[in-house]
Structure 1
Amino acid sequence: MCMIEEKLNEFVRYYNYERYHESLENVTPAEVYYGKAQRKLKQRK
Structure 2
Amino acid sequence: MKGWVISKARFMISMVSVYRELLWSFSLNYLKIAQRKNSWC
TM-score with structure 1 setting the length: 0.43
Which protein has the bigger helix share?
A: 2
TM-score with structure 2 setting the length: 0.46
